[in-house]
Chain A
């Protein structure tokens, strides 16, 4: 079932077209990656979903219709601009924000208690928020986003300021929410996290849809015939059919010409007496796809 259904929305601020005729949908039980370079229109899109901005044209259906006050209680939002009330104790801040999501105060306190334990924050509950470290504030903000068990979670860069242990924990938490059938929209520039977590992605640039589909589909489309080689003897300076050779942690990344075949290249390497311990056809990292797509504006949107 689709939680969000967006049809042809556009939004401009003065002369700047922030979002241009954008359509996509987000399903129940998936982590949806909303990607794009800085200024691509991601935050504007999120704000339109949240009814903070109204689109100039197009339609947004959320949880089966237009936004209402009740639906706001079903949404958890971690904005790019983090914010908590700095001057009050942590627990009070979290409780206040949870009750604004329609939670009963006692229930909110119980849930917050659980979350604070899980995030190792319970000894800081009486500390003022401004006395907490950046990472702790980030965790507190995540509690605010998730505590009311929302159907739709929208998170912008959830892993900034988190150490690897907490990053893993948050990932597990997001996967748990997905398995419970919640929809999660994640906007991030950390492509490795997208590869690990996201089921489907939407890449936008200059307010327009550039890539849209499952992670697999997209990676397959872009798995040009790049090759990863770990040679034991030096590679020749140039190999026929290889456009570019890049060294990566003792391995080589060979970018092939469009019509080159990987097995031909292997043959050529063997013929050139290169000793090879590893030869792998590369899946394009999302990072590469991102850079490639954003640099070549003409890349077609793809369904």
Chain B
């Protein structure tokens, strides 16, 4: 047991404290921060925060009151400036002191017509704020119940529900659509990292000719267990650090962007994510270990591993087809094929109600193949461990009467 621990420690520290790993680890958050930074920069240049003027001939805004929610970077709160004469407002507009001005005619209470004068049309956010401002000052509005006032101010939140009521989609829970996509991408990156390291760790034993030394010190089972746990731990470290970055991002981003504020995932959703992704992770890791055990050179092994990692990505390539027809035979079929299953099922879950039995079958297939892959890897490892110069064919691994 202590020997397994030593191997885990060796495999883990070998990668985690390497420049390459740290670079990999930081690359994603850096890219995200850069993208967010660029978006903010663009916003700061394009979002017009100048006040808006108004000339009120109707008397609605004689003693204006104003209630506005907290603004954010992309939707700042705009000040409204009162002018007595249109000429004054026009002069301010010409001098670029205000972004536009409204003229509210005397007949406004009956006609509900206003005039907006601008050089460049103000954003929807600005116009909405002015609408609210005027509405709040109407006499009829003042007499309403506070709850109704709030509802009127907030506008509508559309909730779509499937016919059988098993699934609801709220406008403000947009992220539930994207979560499987992001979880899938993270899964692929983590699996590729761990799998790649594991592949390398196994094939390196052969490249370095250390296998014989190792198995005269520990038994092959201990060696393999140590390697698998050590390298999976590397991938999980990466994942956890990214999740922490993500959490910080959401918290910090929420300050600027209210859309991010109510980001929560339903627990059963997380459960399905885990049930799908964990066996997939083990399955891919075992496939990589098996490739490492059969190949003799890292370069060669890397090429072959590409053949297995490509199918995992297929659902992304045909994502538009899966989105449009999430229950088409193609999409359903792909969610049962082990390599494409994890991403396909998650994608379908975003766009349709996947029957529970299909999810269960998908998970069962993944667990089954994970076990099969471990068995295959163990066998390939035992047979291939002392073959230095010669590749081990998959057929040999599967043949019954091979020597042990």
Contacts and interface: CB of A to CB of B under 8 A. Distances in A.
Interface string A80-104: 0111111110000000110111100
Contact of A72 (B6, B7, B216): B216
B247 interface: no
Nearest to B218: A100
B14 interface: yes
Contact of A100 (B3, B386, B403): B3
A99 B208 CA distance: 19
Interface string B199-240: 000001001111111111111000000000000000000000
Interface in A36-72: 47, 50, 52, 54, 69, 72
B404 interface: yes
Nearest to A148: B217
Most A CB contacts (10 A, CB to CB) among B204, B208, B213, B388 go to: B213
Contacts of B7: 100
A14 B208 contact: no
Contacts of A85: 204, 208, 210
Contact-residue bracket for chain A: 20 to 34
B382 to A, nearest CB: 10
A79 B214 CA distance: 11
Contacts of A13: 403
Contact of B211 (A69, A83, A99): A83
B403 A79 contact: no
Given A83-B210, A83-B212, A85-B210, A97 B388 contact: no
A54 B404 CA distance: 8
A79 B213 contact: yes
A251 B216 CA distance: 48
A52 B386 CA distance: 9
B213 A88 contact: no
Contacts of B207: 86
B6 A96 contact: yes
A75 interface: yes
A113 to B, nearest CB: 20
Interface string B386-404: 1010000000000000011
A32 interface: no
A77 interface: yes
Contacts of A50: 215-216
A213 B123 CA distance: 100
B215 A84 contact: no
B204 to A, nearest CB: 8
Contacts of A69: 3, 218-219
A206 B376 CA distance: 34
Contacts of A73: 217
Contacts of B217: 72-73, 97, 100-101
A18 B386 CA distance: 16
A75 B216 contact: yes
Contacts of B211: 83
B178 interface: no
A144 interface: yes
Contacts of A47: 212, 386
A52 B208 contact: no
B174 interface: no
Question: DSSP majority for the A interface?
Answer: loop
Interface string A1-37: 0000000000001100000000000000000000000
A82 B212 CA distance: 9
A41 B319 CA distance: 58
A84 to B, nearest CB: 7
B10 interface: yes
B11 to A, nearest CB: 10
Contact of B213 (A54, A83, A99, A102): A83
Contact of B216 (A52, A84, A86, A88): A52
A101 B213 CA distance: 10
Contacts of B14: 88
Interface in A85-140: 85-88, 96-97, 99-102
A144 B388 CA distance: 21
Contacts of A84: 208, 210, 213
A81 B209 contact: yes
A144 B216 contact: no
A261 to B, nearest CB: 51
A86 B208 contact: yes
B212 A79 contact: yes
B10 A96 contact: yes
A87 B404 CA distance: 31
Q: Among A86, A100, A144, find the residue whose CB has the most chain B CB atoms closer than 10 A.
A: A100
A77 B6 contact: no
Contacts of B212: 47, 52, 77, 79, 81, 83
Given A13-B403, A100-B3, A81 B388 contact: yes
A69 B2 CA distance: 12
B209 A82 contact: yes
Interface string B174-206: 000000000000000000000000000000100
- Residue of A52, A86, A88 ringed by the most chain B CB atoms within 10 A: A52
Nearest to B210: A83
A144 B213 contact: yes
Given A13-B403, A100-B3, A100-B6, A77 B216 contact: yes
A144 B210 CA distance: 12
A136 to B, nearest CB: 16
Nearest to A54: B404
A87 B211 CA distance: 15
B282 to A, nearest CB: 26
Contacts of A101: 217
A144 B211 CA distance: 14
Given A52-B216, A54-B404, 18 more contacts: A47-B212, A52-B215, A52-B386, A79-B212, A81-B209, A82-B209, A83-B210, A83-B211, A83-B212, A86-B207, A86-B208, A88-B14, A96-B10, A97-B213, A100-B3, A100-B6, A100-B7, A144-B213
Interface of B: 3, 6-7, 10, 14, 204, 207-219, 386, 388, 403-404
28 contacts: A14-B403, A47-B386, A50-B215, A54-B404, A69-B218, A69-B219, A72-B217, A73-B217, A77-B212, A79-B209, A79-B212, A79-B213, A79-B216, A81-B209, A81-B212, A82-B209, A83-B208, A83-B209, A84-B213, A85-B208, A88-B14, A96-B10, A97-B217, A99-B6, A100-B3, A100-B214, A101-B217, A144-B213
